[in-house]
A and B are shown apart, each in its own frame.
Chain A
Amino acid sequence: MGGVWLVLLLPLLGSLINGLFGRRLPKPWIGWVACGSVGLSLILSVRVLFDLLALPPEGRIFTQPLFDWIVVNDQGAPFSLLVDPLSTLMILVVTGVGFLIHVYSIGYMGQDPDYSRYFSWLNLFMFSMLLLVLADNFLLLFVGWELVGLCSYLLIGFWFSKPTAAAAAQKAFIVNRIGDFGFMIGLFLLFATFGTFDYLKIFEGAPEALPYGGALATAIALLLFAGAVGKSAQIPLYIWLPDAMEGPTPVSALIHAATMVTAGVYMVARAHVLYELAPVSMALVASIGAVTALMAASIALVNNDIKRVLAYSTISQLGYMFLAAGVGAFAAGMFHLTSQAFTKALLFLAAGSVMHALGGEETDMRKMGGLSRKLPWTWGIFLIGALSMSGIFPFVAFFSKDLILERVFISGNTALWIIGLFTVLLTAFYMLRAHFLTFHGRPRYGEKNPHESPPVMLWPMQGLAALTLFGGVLFLSFAGFAPLNEFLAPVFAGEIVLEQPAVLSEGALMATSLLVALLGIGIAWLVYMRGLQPAEALRRAFRPLYTLLDGKYYVDELYYALFVWPGKKISEFLATVFDLGLLDGIINGLARLIDRAGGALRRIESGYIRNYAAWVLLGALGVLIYWLMR
């Protein structure tokens, strides 16, 4: 476990090598450096896992101090790492999914002239994300938090010559900064309360320092959550994520689906001790999660851009994770995080494979269709992902989503449970809709000649498909066999587990959500497998609703009118009228007044200054003499 710092260092080295020398390296080397460093990180992460498993459950925690970072008078934050089941799960997910996506990128980005820049940034992202999850204190987590934001900014804007990509990158960074503003104040409050940023010290002292349900606990929990709302794209800050799809598709898969956007969930799970002390904030987390899940899913119903459907789906699924956390089911949230990482990465890579097949960056599903024969592997893999996302047994997301709904039901929040269940219906519908539109029906891609992706892209997709197919085993909590649950148990030891009510048994709940999912799939099949006609009819029948959903609830427009436009106007007013007109005017007017008063002094400019200097000297002497004579 002592080598955990290498997990962190290797991708950073890879990034530096490709960033500084990439342009001079032979192309295959670039891929080897990038994938090799992440691959080694993965191997080391597995070793960390086995080292951890060799210890008794309660001893599975290990801190590795590296050096003093911001430390003033022994206060502050050291650069040190924490290995426990939670961070180990995260580094496995990040390096595992990350490695597959790196390999995929060799094929996907193969023709890009900025190949080395791409891999340098992708490796930098890996380093940042690993730092985020391995940090042993809140401030160091914040470092990783901001650095993944930077990488997200850089990679969304990877094709920066495209104005939409550049604008999307900027939007992502700024919207995230708004959340981080809250997060930072949360950090100040933490430090003011505990005098440290250290997780273990804070969690240990929290029950004493923060009265249960008190304002302080609530404030801290909510301020930290503000950061999570930005990073994990929840209401009201989710607007950056759909635009983030301007980045290359593997980036969307890695950063904007599988890993970075889940950082908020990880942070809440990590700080679960604080959240458990603040029931009000828990309720808010759950509600925001549920509403976001529903709202994003509803937008995905009508969107025609395959990547944006997946993006809204990501937002929606992140909502589920927060819903889980909000009802105290942190482990269930982490399960869903893991299953999402597999399934959503899979879907994005499959979507990327379709785009690749259509020769570039085509994302409009209305220009796809009928690809199932041409791209059999991609078809099958996307279907696995879509079914998993819909919550169909035995795919991985079925288990995690089901567990969340079960825990919400047990918590007694019936309204939230119904929202969650209804969202299952929507999810199943839009996922299969996307599948049918893309792969079935009449081909609508014109003269193009689609071809299946090369092995270097297929192989990672197959790997993720296997994880999606068989990963469910990890999440089983059946008849005393619950590997992941047991593994995470020491972290969430304090988690409140309510007794299960007898009204609906575990099996009945499972059956309900499965039936709802099948219903959604059935509707999608009815509407889209019979061609586009019924969809047209539906659209006409629900014109106002369709317009609202198609316009994404006009939230972007609202924010523009409320914040961006007034901000611009105020800035312009201050810059021209106030600063140049008023403030400068006063000063210049004053100068003119003095100038006029001392008319005799008006000379050419250089003489002017000398005179003033002389007057200053004389004045000073005068004061001196006055004091001496007094």
Chain B
Amino acid sequence: MLTLITFLPALGAVLIGAIARERARLLRAASLAVSLGAFTLALWLSFTFDPSLPGMQFEERRPWISEIGIGYHVGVDGISLFLVLLTTFLVPLLLLAPWDAVKERYKMFSIMVLLLETALLGVFVALDLVLFYVFWEAMLIPMYFLIGIWGGPQRSYAAIKFFLYTMATSVLMLVAIIALYFTSNLSTFDWTVLQSIQLDRVLEFWLFGAFVAAFAVKIPLWPLHSWLPDAYSEAPTAGTILLAALMSKAGLYGLLRFGLTLFPTAAAAMAPYLLALALIGVIYGALVASAQKDLKRMIAYASLSHLGLVAIGILAMSQLGTTGSVLQMVNHGIIITGLFWTVAILAGRFERRGLEDFGGVMKEMPRLAALFFIFMLAAVALPGTNGFVGEFLILLGTFLTEYKIYAILGASIAILTAVYMLWMAQKVFHGPTAAHIEKDSRDLKPREIMLLAPLVAVILWIGIYPKPLLDRISPSVEALVSQAHSRVEFVQELLQIQPRSSEEPPGGAP
């Protein structure tokens, strides 16, 4: 089942490759059918998912390269389930949207998006480290082409920067995976087995650091974000959305699934430092966003700020907070999609996207304005939208741990986001109507509304009735968090019983 969902898009991509590029309608229909098929399967998956079980469900395990213990092992729990759902939900919308940038070469575009979908799904379901790494790297290639082919004027710079940045750090992860394999001596790469081994403490720090480097770039965690504004703003909107809504989640998910479970002691010891980076990212992203002159770059930094908060919830390792983080991953995916999308519509209509180029759009395009405001309000975490549920749980949960201060300072996101978001709304949508806007404004077409409406529906649904999600997320989070905590405690007890070795245990960063 999971295998089918994961590889259906890639299979579809191959089939689409066989269709002649002139047959535009057929191409669209085929790519839509494939992506909707994956979504339907994912929906079915979530309905048959048993919320009372905290562990992995729909597991599939097959030997792959058994000589060195690489297996094909996939499964979902309450954490990955909704990321699978989010991915399969967004991709059909992206394939259907009439992007200005992909009027040409739609065939290639849909192939790339579908391949990327498979890679993303693979990352979210893989339970074998090598398998995970393969999918992890596989994400890069279609994304590189998406930016490089359909991107803005600076696309090749942005694409290369993105590629090198992520490549350099994921190599570290690969090295760490291999090292883990050899030190464990269990001849397996299976996460379920590896998470129960006790590593040498120094080695654990190094391996955790290597994993974190890879995840931190993907999220991105401050100060490793400098590829983000370029990549986000140069990528075609569909690419930006895939980057911001989905690929960033791969980093966060990896941190939660592998970083915290394989190396709990190192994670606990390094948490204060990583939390500090995440918190800086929250505030820094917001401040820098408020100084941007370009709408897309503004949203890009806003995304940095909000992802930092999700990272805080994961790193503080509280049950409520981490549950909130998983929920907020989904929320952020929806909200950021809406924001980038509405900005793309604006940019497409008027062929400009500077903050100063707009004014009074609400008067001319009330429907677009209404949708933008809903996305904006979800971003400023207004109660009744999904953003509030996620952010509040993250902050509340973090407040209940020893890392209270990160919750308190992190809560400033409520003010900061309001500052730049409302500023943007005022500049673009309010005020007197700018001259060129009066001339060529066309409000949203029914088709555009139909594509954005599902996002609004999800925003309100999760905002008002998040129970179905929380009920499924929280048991899995609880299992993961409590296991990590108990291992940390175990090590601490061990240290107290045994006389200290000659070497001081590293108390902080390695």
Judge: A and B partners, yes or no: yes
- A163/B431 in contact, CB under 8 A: yes
Chain B positions 60-80 with a Cβ under 8 Å from a chain A Cβ: none
Q: How far is the CA of A620 from the CA of B179 in the complex (A)?
A: 11
- B430/A161 in contact, CB under 8 A: yes
- B426/A608 in contact, CB under 8 A: no
- A623/B178 in contact, CB under 8 A: yes
- A161/B418 in contact, CB under 8 A: no
Partner of B467, one of A71, A146, A181, A571: A71
- B288/A574 in contact, CB under 8 A: yes
Q: How far is the CA of A167 from the CA of B433 in the complex (A)?
A: 15
The reply on A506 being an interface residue by CB < 8 A is no
By beta carbon, the residue of chain B nearest A165 is B430
Chain A positions 361-415 with a Cβ under 8 Å from a chain B Cβ: none
The reply on B320 being an interface residue by CB < 8 A is yes
- A574/B291 in contact, CB under 8 A: yes
By beta carbon, the residue of chain B nearest A584 is B226
Chain B positions 365-391 with a Cβ under 8 Å from a chain A Cβ: 377, 382-384, 388-389
Contacts of A619 in B (CB 8 A): 171
- A579/B432 in contact, CB under 8 A: no
Chain A positions 332-379 with a Cβ under 8 Å from a chain B Cβ: none
- B288/A575 in contact, CB under 8 A: yes
The reply on A558 being an interface residue by CB < 8 A is no
Given A184-B395, A623-B175, A161-B433 contact (CB < 8 Å): yes
Cβ distance B417 to chain A, nearest Cβ, rounded Å: 9
- B156/A605 in contact, CB under 8 A: yes
Given A73-B319, A184-B414, A146-B383 contact (CB < 8 Å): yes
The reply on B490 being an interface residue by CB < 8 A is no
Q: How large is the interface on B (under 10, 10 to 19, 20 to 34, 35 or more residues)?
A: 35 or more
Cβ distance B464 to chain A, nearest Cβ, rounded Å: 8
Partner of B466, one of A70, A146, A576, A616: A70
Cβ distance A222 to chain B, nearest Cβ, rounded Å: 14
The reply on B486 being an interface residue by CB < 8 A is no
Given A174-B418, A616-B171, A609-B384 contact (CB < 8 Å): no
Contacts of B395 in A (CB 8 A): 184, 188
Given A161-B363, A574-B284, A178-B415 contact (CB < 8 Å): yes
- A72/B287 in contact, CB under 8 A: no
The reply on B457 being an interface residue by CB < 8 A is no
- A174/B399 in contact, CB under 8 A: no
Given A73-B474, A73-B478, A627-B178, A180-B414 contact (CB < 8 Å): yes
Tally of chain A residues near chain B (CB < 8 A): 62
- A627/B419 in contact, CB under 8 A: no
Q: Is the interface of A mostly helix, strand, loop or mixed?
A: helix
Q: How far is the CA of A616 from the CA of B140 in the complex (A)?
A: 13
Cβ distance B217 to chain A, nearest Cβ, rounded Å: 11
Interface centre among A70, A608, A620 (most CB of B within 10 A): A70
Interface centre among A67, A160, A576 (most CB of B within 10 A): A160
The reply on A473 being an interface residue by CB < 8 A is no
Cβ distance A445 to chain B, nearest Cβ, rounded Å: 28
Q: How far is the CA of A160 from the CA of B428 in the complex (A)?
A: 11
Q: Is the interface of B mostly helix, strand, loop or mixed?
A: helix
Q: How far is the CA of A612 from the CA of B168 in the complex (A)?
A: 9
- B 152-175 binary contact with A (CB < 8 Å = 1; else 0): 000010001101110100010011
- A 178-208 binary contact with B (CB < 8 Å = 1; else 0): 1011001101110110000000000000000
The reply on B407 being an interface residue by CB < 8 A is yes
Contacts of A583 in B (CB 8 A): 223, 225-226
Q: How far is the CA of A181 from the CA of B466 in the complex (A)?
A: 23
Chain B positions 325-384 with a Cβ under 8 Å from a chain A Cβ: 360, 362-363, 377, 382-384
The reply on B408 being an interface residue by CB < 8 A is yes
- B465/A605 in contact, CB under 8 A: no
Contacts of B163 in A (CB 8 A): 609, 612
Partner of B407, one of A174, A180, A188: A188
Interface centre among B227, B287, B360, B432 (most CB of A within 10 A): B287
- A620/B288 in contact, CB under 8 A: no
Contacts of A180 in B (CB 8 A): 414
Given A167-B426, A185-B408, A609-B160 contact (CB < 8 Å): yes
Contacts of A146 in B (CB 8 A): 382-384, 388
The reply on B96 being an interface residue by CB < 8 A is no
By beta carbon, the residue of chain A nearest B417 is A177
The reply on A556 being an interface residue by CB < 8 A is no
Q: How far is the CA of A170 from the CA of B412 in the complex (A)?
A: 17
Chain A positions 141-162 with a Cβ under 8 Å from a chain B Cβ: 142-143, 146-147, 150, 153, 157, 160-161
- B470/A587 in contact, CB under 8 A: no
- B291/A188 in contact, CB under 8 A: no
Q: How far is the CA of A73 from the CA of B174 in the complex (A)?
A: 37
- A 610-630 binary contact with B (CB < 8 Å = 1; else 0): 001100100110011001001
- A174/B432 in contact, CB under 8 A: no
Q: How far is the CA of A613 from the CA of B141 in the complex (A)?
A: 10
- A575/B291 in contact, CB under 8 A: yes
Contacts of A620 in B (CB 8 A): 171, 174-175, 178
The reply on A75 being an interface residue by CB < 8 A is yes
Cβ distance B434 to chain A, nearest Cβ, rounded Å: 11
Q: How far is the CA of A575 from the CA of B292 in the complex (A)?
A: 7
- A587/B383 in contact, CB under 8 A: no
- B319/A72 in contact, CB under 8 A: yes
Contacts of A161 in B (CB 8 A): 360, 363, 430-433
Q: How far is the CA of A185 from the CA of B400 in the complex (A)?
A: 11
Contacts of A185 in B (CB 8 A): 399, 408, 411
- A609/B423 in contact, CB under 8 A: no
Cβ distance A508 to chain B, nearest Cβ, rounded Å: 48
Chain A positions 117-175 with a Cβ under 8 Å from a chain B Cβ: 139, 142-143, 146-147, 150, 153, 157, 160-161, 163, 165-167, 169-170, 173-174
- A571/B290 in contact, CB under 8 A: yes
Interface centre among A143, A568, A609 (most CB of B within 10 A): A609
- B 201-233 binary contact with A (CB < 8 Å = 1; else 0): 000000000000000000000010111010000
Partner of B287, one of A191, A192, A574, A630: A574
The reply on B323 being an interface residue by CB < 8 A is yes
- A72/B474 in contact, CB under 8 A: yes
Contacts of A192 in B (CB 8 A): 399-400
The reply on A68 being an interface residue by CB < 8 A is yes
Q: How far is the CA of A210 from the CA of B336 in the complex (A)?
A: 42
- A181/B171 in contact, CB under 8 A: no
- B414/A163 in contact, CB under 8 A: no
Interface centre among B156, B383, B464, B478 (most CB of A within 10 A): B383
Given A75-B320, A605-B160, A609-B144, A166-B165 contact (CB < 8 Å): no
- A 560-572 binary contact with B (CB < 8 Å = 1; else 0): 0000000110111
- B414/A587 in contact, CB under 8 A: no
The reply on B422 being an interface residue by CB < 8 A is yes
The reply on B258 being an interface residue by CB < 8 A is no
Q: How far is the CA of A69 from the CA of B411 in the complex (A)?
A: 21
The reply on A591 being an interface residue by CB < 8 A is yes
Partner of A170, one of B181, B408, B422: B422
By beta carbon, the residue of chain B nearest A139 is B392
Cβ distance A167 to chain B, nearest Cβ, rounded Å: 7
- A170/B432 in contact, CB under 8 A: no
Cβ distance A13 to chain B, nearest Cβ, rounded Å: 15
Chain B positions 131-162 with a Cβ under 8 Å from a chain A Cβ: 144, 156, 160-161
Instruction: Name A residues whose Cβ lies closer than 8 Å to a Cβ of B.
Output: 67-73, 75, 139, 142-143, 146-147, 150, 153, 157, 160-161, 163, 165-167, 169-170, 173-174, 177-178, 180-181, 184-185, 187-189, 191-192, 567-568, 570-572, 574-576, 579, 583-584, 587, 591, 605, 608-609, 612-613, 616, 619-620, 623-624, 627, 630
- The 14 listed contacts between A and B (C-beta, < 8 Å) are A72-B319, A73-B319, A73-B474, A147-B382, A169-B426, A169-B430, A191-B396, A191-B399, A572-B291, A574-B291, A575-B288, A587-B165, A587-B226, A612-B164
| Top-5 shortest CB links A-B | A166-B430, A575-B291, A143-B383, A571-B291, A188-B399
Known contacts A139-B392, A613-B167, then 5 further A-B pairs from the complex at CB < 8 Å, ordered by chain A residue: A70-B470, A169-B426, A174-B422, A192-B400, A620-B178
